[in-house]
C-alpha cells in the first residue's frame, strides 16, 4: 500500500471510486501542488547559494509579438524570481531570420550563466521550429523538446535529461492519486509533440496500457469511456462530455480555450477540453481550468532549470 496526501491508496482505488461515482469528483488542485514544489525549489536554490554556487539561470527567447506568448513568458520570469532563479529575456522581432534565431540560441548555449534555454512556441510562420529546438544544447533543453531527449523518453532502458514540462506536470497530478498505474487503461486525447505524444510515453513508462486518440479515431467516445486515466489535450473547448468518461476515472484537462461570455469583464472565459460541470459528476478526480495543469507546467520548468544547474556543477 502507498500513502499519498494522507490517504491510503491500494490497487482497488479505481474500483472503489467507480462504486462512489454518484459523488462529485475530487478536484486535483494543480495550483496548490505547484506551490509546494516551488517552495521546495526555493529551499534548494537557497542551499546552492549558501554553498557558494551560482543561482540557476533561465534564458527565454521570444520571437514576434504574440500576446499569449508574451503573457506566458512574463509568468515564467515572475515564477523564476519567486524561487531565486535568475531569468534573462531575449526578444527578436517577428521579421527575424532563421539565422538570427539560431545565432541567438548558439550564444546562449555558449554562455555559462545560462543553465536552461526556453524558446517560446509557436514561432512566427517561416521559421523552422524543429531546427531551432534541435540547436539547443541537450544539457540546456529545460523544455524537454530536443529530439534526443524525446528519443530517450521513447526507448526502454534510456533516460532523458529532461522531460517536457506539461506532460511531467500531468504525471505528478495523476500519481498523486494513483501512485500505481500498473495495467491501468490510459487514453490520451491528442497527439501533439508538446503534450499528447510525450505524456503517452510517460504513461507507458509507468506500465499503463495506452491508447492515443486523434481526429481519425473510430468510436472516439467509446474509446475515451474505457479509460481509467483520461488526458485531454486536443485544444477543443469542452469536447469531452459526461458520457465520454468512465465512472471513477482520473481526468486530466490540459486544454485552455477562450469562450465568448458577455457576462465576464474581459468578454470571455477560459474553459478546458473537458465539460467540467458535467464531468465532475461522474469522474473520480478532475483537474480544473484554470488552476490545474497550467501551474504545474511552470513548476516543472523551474524544476528542470534547477536540474540543469546541478548537471553543470559536475
Centre a 10 Å sphere on the Cβ of residue 155 and count the other Cβ atoms it contains.
Answer: 11
The response to whether 190 counts as a known ligand-binding position is yes
- Consult the annotation and say whether 84 binds a ligand: no
Show the cell assigned to 301. 520548468
Given 143, 228, 253, 273, the catalytic residue: 143
Name the catalytic one among 17, 76, 140, 280: 76
74 given a catalytic annotation: no
- Residue 242 gets which letter from DSSP? G
Judge whether 152 is annotated as a binding position: no
Distance in angstroms (rounded) separating the CA atoms of residues 237 and 271: 6
How far apart CA 302 and CA 38 sit, in angstroms, is 8
Catalytic annotation on 143?
Answer: yes
Q: Count other Cβ atoms within 10 Å, centred on residue 2.
A: 13
By C-alpha distance, which of 147, 128, 117 is closest to 57?
Answer: 117
User: Closest Cα to residue 13, out of 24, 29, 2?
Assistant: 2
Annotated catalytic residue, options 120, 140, 246, 253:
120
Pairing assessment for the beta strands 26-27 and 268-271 based on DSSP bridges:
unpaired
- Identify whether 82 is a catalytic site residue: no
Q: Is 107 annotated to bind ligand?
A: no
Q: Is the peptide bond before 122 cis (omega within 30 degrees of 0)?
A: yes
Contact predicate 199/188, CB 8 Å: yes
Question: Annotated binding site: which residue ranges?
Answer: 190-192, 256
Question: Annotated binding site for NADP(+): which residue ranges?
Answer: 190-192, 256
The residues that are catalytic are: 76, 120, 143
Amino acid at each position: 500500500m502507498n500513502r499519498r496526501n494522507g490517504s491510503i491508496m491500494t490497487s482497488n482505488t479505481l474500483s472503489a471510486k467507480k462504486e462512489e461515482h454518484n459523488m462529485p469528483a475530487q478536484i486535483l488542485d494543480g495550483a496548490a501542488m505547484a506551490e509546494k514544489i516551488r517552495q521546495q525549489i526555493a529551499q534548494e536554490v537557497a542551499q546552492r547559494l549558501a554553498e557558494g554556487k551560482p543561482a540557476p539561470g533561465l534564458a527565454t527567447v521570444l520571437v514576434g509579438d504574440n500576446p499569449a506568448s508574451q503573457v506566458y513568458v512574463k509568468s515564467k520570469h515572475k515564477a523564476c524570481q519567486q524561487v531565486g532563479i535568475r531569468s534573462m529575456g531575449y526578444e527578436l522581432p517577428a521579421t527575424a531570420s532563421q539565422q538570427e534565431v539560431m545565432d541567438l540560441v548558439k550564444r546562449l548555449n555558449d554562455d555559462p550563466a545560462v543553465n536552461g534555454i526556453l524558446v517560446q512556441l509557436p514561432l512566427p510562420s517561416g521559421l523552422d521550429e524543429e531546427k531551432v529546438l534541435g540547436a539547443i544544447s541537450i544539457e540546456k533543453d529545460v523544455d524537454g523538446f530536443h529530439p534526443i531527449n524525446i528519443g530517450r523518453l521513447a526507448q526502454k532502458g534510456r533516460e532523458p535529461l529532461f522531460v517536457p514540462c506539461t506532460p511531467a506536470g500531468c504525471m505528478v497530478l495523476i500519481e498523486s492519486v494513483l501512485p500505481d498505474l500498473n495495467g491501468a487503461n490510459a487514453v490520451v486525447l491528442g497527439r501533439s509533440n508538446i503534450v499528447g505524444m510525450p505524456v503517452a510515453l510517460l504513461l507507458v513508462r509507468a506500465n499503463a496500457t495506452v491508447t492515443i486518440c486523434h481526429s481519425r479515431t473510430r468510436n472516439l467516445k467509446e474509446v475515451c469511456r474505457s479509460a481509467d486515466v483520461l488526458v485531454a489535450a486536443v485544444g477543443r473547448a469542452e469536447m469531452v462530455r459526461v458520457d465520454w468518461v468512465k465512472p471513477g476515472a482520473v481526468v486530466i484537462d490540459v486544454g485552455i480555450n477562450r469562450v465568448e461570455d458577455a457576462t465576464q469583464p474581459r468578454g470571455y472565459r477560459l474553459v478546458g477540453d473537458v465539460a467540467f460541470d458535467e464531468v465532475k459528476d461522474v469522474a473520480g478526480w478532475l483537474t480544473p481550468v484554470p488552476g490545474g495543469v497550467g501551474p504545474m507546467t511552470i513548476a516543472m520548468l523551474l524544476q528542470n532549470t534547477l536540474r540543469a544547474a546541478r548537471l553543470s556543477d559536475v
